[in-house]
């Protein structure tokens, strides 16, 4: 029974004299390797040369602000509940008069901490958030740390900087491929 | 006389330094060529284009722990890599790297020592080279090392026979064992490769086997023998083993270029020499012509080193019985046939034409014979 049309009939003829000497075969093989010698290299020289990672990459956390610069997080705690590694903890506080330009809702996170030793970058916090406040950036890794003091990320490391807002360049596969084509000479 | 002695020692020192330097940079080029053939970039971090990579590698090896296994034979364990390195370095003494230098009224040959048994010296030392590997593998007291060492020994012995026989054809044509006179007979473009195509293929195959290079790198196959004869070696002892392989590669390339590709000869060399002597005077002109010849010789050597690396990333490793089959059942009979053809050609008085006719007749006879008598399992 034929399952695919890729099947190839085996050639069981005895080898000819030229084939048995293997020299033409070796010459052909060496031609192939020499062709690769001059072909385009697929290497990306990483620290100097970086590549767009794709919109679905999950990296460094960010707490988004809205268009007017107010923090979106209302300290509901759903991200902490969703987190399978229990890396997120927060302290809620009530917004007082005069802080309307800082926090969007009446409740906000006075402290918001993620333990990067525990975080597994699963993205469930992102999905759990009803206020679209917490995201995992597609363009930034969590930097390497050597000390345990450096692993608990507070609001100072997480809240978005209004001068340097975080945006995703691409949301779909097609947009991503357009970006890649612009960035790399080789089409991956 | 003193200045001649000085020049001579400088030449010996230079050959020594050049073979070590080239061997060091072979490790770098091996990686670069491997990378290029595999569509990668290769080492480019240490220095511009990574040219300081051999220094970094050597530094790393020197600072590694120098480990000797408890059950190993201590002195033989140390002797192994030293022997491998010693024999590898000794061979380059007889290779004529250039014509001659005129200095202070003396004609000094660009060669370590000019002896009339040059090629015998090369073979003698090369056959000793296997002791380094054998002793190292045996002294490690590790069965995988021993397997690797035994493989190396039997492989080297098997292929040395075919290698020697293919050389005899060259000796029949040159009627001398001196490498310099073999080179001088290939003056201009009268290279031995045109007379001895089959001998060249046999010699090339055997020299791959002698250097333990892929596809004949059975002694050090890491997937069957956990790296073979140098399993127990670390630090600079391992470094010496690997380094001696690269020195061997350089020397083998030099011997290949000397025997089959005319050494320091090149087409139009007389015209170049005449022009240089006309332009710079008798002494300087002659020395410059020698320099050009030497550079061209090194070009040939580098080409063969490249071929060694090129083949490494093309062909897979032999199976052990296939390796023995090739050596004993194919190469040795073929080199005997080559001897007969060469002998007939020399007697006929027209070596070039007669050699090619003889080769063609042999191929036709072999083809007809294998059609009539051959079984399907004939291996060549």
What is the rounded end-to-end Cα distance, in angstroms, of chain A?
A: 37
- Which residues of chain A neighbour B363 with C-beta distances below 8 Å? 17
Kindly report whether the peptide bond that precedes residue B215 is cis, defined as omega within 30 degrees of 0: yes
User: By the CB < 8 Å criterion, does A14 face chain B?
Assistant: yes
Characterise B104 by phi-psi region: left (phi > 0), alpha (psi -120 to 50), beta (else).
Answer: left
Q: Is B366–A34 a contact, with Cβ atoms under 8 angstroms apart?
A: no
Q: Average pLDDT of A100-123?
A: 90
Q: Facing residues of B107 across strands?
A: B102
- Which residues of chain A neighbour B33 with C-beta distances below 8 Å? 37
Of B184, B192, B176, the C-alpha closest to B355 is B192
pLDDT of the residue at A91 = 92
B80 and B141 Cβ atoms separated by less than 8 Å: no
Q: Residue A89 is encoded by which pair of tokens?
A: 């903890």
* Spans in chain B with pLDDT lower than 50: 378-380
Q: Return d(Cα B146, Cα B251) in angstroms, integer.
A: 27
Q: Is B379–A20 a contact, with Cβ atoms under 8 angstroms apart?
A: yes
Q: Which of B38, B314, B376 sits opposite A29 (nearest CB)?
A: B314
Q: Return d(Cα B149, Cα B135) in angstroms, integer.
A: 8
ipTM value of the model? 0.75
Q: Which of A14, A34, A39 sits opposite B39 (nearest CB)?
A: A39
pLDDT of the residue at A187 = 42
**Residue A19 reports pLDDT greater than 80:** no
- Chain center to CA of A127: 16
pLDDT of the residue at B378 = 47
Q: Residue B77 is encoded by which pair of tokens?
A: 């364990």
Q: Which of B33, B201, B367 sits opposite A17 (nearest CB)?
A: B367
pLDDT of the residue at A81 = 93
Q: Return d(Cα B168, Cα B205) in angstroms, integer.
A: 16
- Using a pLDDT cut of 70, give the percent of chain A over it: 97
User: By the CB < 8 Å criterion, does A13 face chain B?
Assistant: no
Where residue A82 falls among pLDDT bands split at 50, 70, 90? very high
Q: Is A26–B379 a contact, with Cβ atoms under 8 angstroms apart?
A: no
Query: How far is the alpha carbon of B60 from chain A, nearest alpha carbon, in Å?
Result: 24
pLDDT of the residue at B375 = 59
Average model confidence (pLDDT) across chain A: 84
Going by C-beta distance under 8 Å and a sequence separation of 6 or more, which residues neighbour residue B194? B352
Of B332, B362, B343, the C-alpha closest to B173 is B343
pLDDT of the residue at A186 = 47
Q: Which of B40, B314, B366 sits opposite A33 (nearest CB)?
A: B314
Of B318, B321, B265, the C-alpha closest to B293 is B265
B333-353: pLDDT as tens digits:
989 999 988 888 888 877 778
Of the segments A50-59, A100-109, B343-352, which one has the largest average pLDDT value?
A100-109
Of B113, B272, B112, B304, the C-alpha closest to B188 is B272
Query: How far is the alpha carbon of A43 from chain B, nearest alpha carbon, in Å?
Result: 6
Q: Which of A17, A36, A42 sits opposite B37 (nearest CB)?
A: A36
Distances (CA, A) of B339 to A17, A112, B161, B206, B333: 21, 87, 13, 16, 10
Q: Return d(Cα A183, Cα A140) in angstroms, integer.
A: 17
What is chain A's length?
A: 188
Fill in the DSSP letter of residue A125: H
pTM over 0.80: no
Q: Is A41–B36 a contact, with Cβ atoms under 8 angstroms apart?
A: yes
Q: What is the 3-state secondary structure (H, E, C) of chain B?
A: CHHHHHHHHHHHHHHHHHHHHHHHHHHHHHHHHHHHHCCCCCCCCCCHHHCCHHHHHHHHHHHCCCCCCCCCCHHHHHHHHHHHHHHHHHHHHHCCCCCEEEECCEEEECCCCCCCCHHHHHHHHHHHHHHHHHHHHHHCCCHHHHHHHHHHHHHHHHHHHHHHHHHHHHHHHHCCCCHHHHHHHCCCCCCHHHHCHHHHHHHHHHHHHHCCCCCCCHHHCHHHHCCHHHCCCCHHHHHHHHHHHHHHHHHHHHHHHHHHCCCCCCCCHHHHHHHHHHHHCHHHHHHHHHHHHHHHHHHHHHHHHHHHHHHHCCCCCCCHHHHHHHHHHHHHHHHHHHHHHHHHHHHHCCHHHHHHHHHHHHHHHHHHHHHHCCCCCCCC
Q: Which of B33, B44, B376 sits opposite A14 (nearest CB)?
A: B376
**Residue A18 reports pLDDT greater than 90:** no
Largest CA distance in chain B: 69
Q: Is A40–B39 a contact, with Cβ atoms under 8 angstroms apart?
A: yes
Fill in the DSSP letter of residue A65: B
User: By the CB < 8 Å criterion, does A39 face chain B?
Assistant: yes
The secondary structure element, H or E, covering residue A182 is helix A173-183
What residue in A sits closest to B366 (Cα-Cα)?
A17
User: By the CB < 8 Å criterion, does A42 face chain B?
Assistant: yes
**Residue A104 reports pLDDT greater than 80:** yes
Q: Which of B37, B315, B363 sits opposite A37 (nearest CB)?
A: B37
**Residue A188 reports pLDDT greater than 50:** no
Interface test with B, best of A13, A18, A30 (most B CBs within 10 A): A30
What residue in A sits closest to B370 (Cα-Cα)?
A17
Q: Is B367–A26 a contact, with Cβ atoms under 8 angstroms apart?
A: no
Distances (CA, A) of B201 to A135, A188, B162, B256: 65, 42, 11, 11
User: By the CB < 8 Å criterion, does A18 face chain B?
Assistant: no
């Amino acid at each position: 029974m034929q399952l695919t049309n890729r099947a190839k009939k085996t050639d069981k003829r005895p080898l000819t004299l030229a084939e048995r000497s293997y020299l033409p075969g070796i010459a052909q093989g060496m031609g192939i390797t020499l062709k690769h010698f001059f072909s385009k290299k697929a290497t990306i020289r990483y620290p100097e040369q970086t590549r767009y990672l794709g919109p679905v990459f999950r990296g460094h956390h960010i707490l988004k602000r809205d268009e007017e610069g107010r923090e979106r997080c209302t300290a509901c705690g759903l991200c902490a509940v969703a987190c399978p590694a229990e890396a997120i903890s927060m302290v809620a506080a009530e917004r007082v008069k005069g802080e309307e330009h800082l926090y969007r809702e009446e409740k906000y996170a006075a402290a918001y901490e993620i333990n990067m030793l525990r975080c597994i970058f699963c993205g469930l916090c992102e999905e759990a958030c009803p206020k679209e406040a917490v995201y995992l950036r597609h363009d930034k890794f969590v930097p390497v740390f050597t000390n345990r003091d450096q692993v608990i990320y507070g609001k100072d490391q997480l809240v978005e900087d209004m001068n340097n807002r975080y945006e995703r360049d691409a949301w779909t596969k097609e947009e991503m491929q357009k970006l890649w084509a612009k960035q790399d000479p080789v089409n991956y | 006389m003193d200045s001649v002695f000085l020049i001579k020692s400088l030449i010996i020192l230079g050959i020594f330094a050049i073979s070590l330097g080239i061997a060091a940079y072979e490790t770098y080029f091996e990686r670069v060529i491997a990378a290029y053939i595999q569509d990668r970039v290769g080492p480019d971090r240490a220095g511009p284009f990574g040219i300081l990579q051999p220094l970094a590698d050597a530094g790393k090896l020197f600072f590694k722990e120098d480990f000797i296994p408890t059950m190993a034979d201590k002195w033989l364990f140390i002797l192994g890599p030293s022997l491998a390195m010693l024999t590898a370095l000794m061979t380059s003494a007889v290779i004529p790297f250039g014509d001659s230098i005129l200095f202070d009224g003396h004609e000094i040959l660009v060669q370590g020592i000019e002896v009339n048994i040059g090629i015998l010296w090369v073979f003698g030392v090369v056959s000793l080279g296997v002791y380094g590997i054998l002793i190292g593998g045996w002294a490690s007291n590790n069965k995988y090392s021993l397997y690797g060492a035994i493989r190396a020994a039997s492989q080297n012995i098997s292929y040395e026979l075919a290698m020697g026989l293919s050389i005899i054809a060259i000796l029949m044509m040159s009627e001398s064992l001196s490498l310099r006179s073999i080179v001088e007979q290939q003056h201009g473009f009268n290279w031995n490769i045109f007379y001895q195509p089959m001998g060249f293929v046999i010699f090339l195959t055997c020299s791959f086997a002698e250097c333990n290079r892929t596809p004949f790198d059975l002694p050090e196959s890491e997937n069957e023998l956990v790296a073979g004869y140098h399993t127990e070696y670390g630090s600079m002892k391992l470094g010496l083993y690997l380094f001696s392989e690269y020195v061997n590669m350089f020397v083998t390339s030099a011997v290949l270029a000397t025997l089959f590709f005319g050494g320091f000869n090149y087409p139009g060399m007389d015209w170049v020499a005449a022009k240089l002597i006309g332009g710079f005077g008798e002494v300087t002109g002659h020395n410059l012509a020698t320099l050009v010849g030497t550079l061209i010789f090194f070009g040939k050597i580098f080409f063969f080193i490249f071929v060694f690396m090129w083949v490494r990333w093309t062909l897979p490793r032999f199976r052990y019985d296939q390796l023995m089959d090739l050596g004993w059942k194919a190469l040795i009979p073929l080199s005997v046939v080559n001897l007969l053809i060469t002998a007939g050609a020399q007697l006929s008085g027209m070596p070039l034409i007669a050699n090619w006719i003889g080769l063609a007749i042999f191929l036709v006879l072999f083809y007809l014979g294998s059609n009539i008598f051959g079984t399907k399992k004939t291996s060549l």
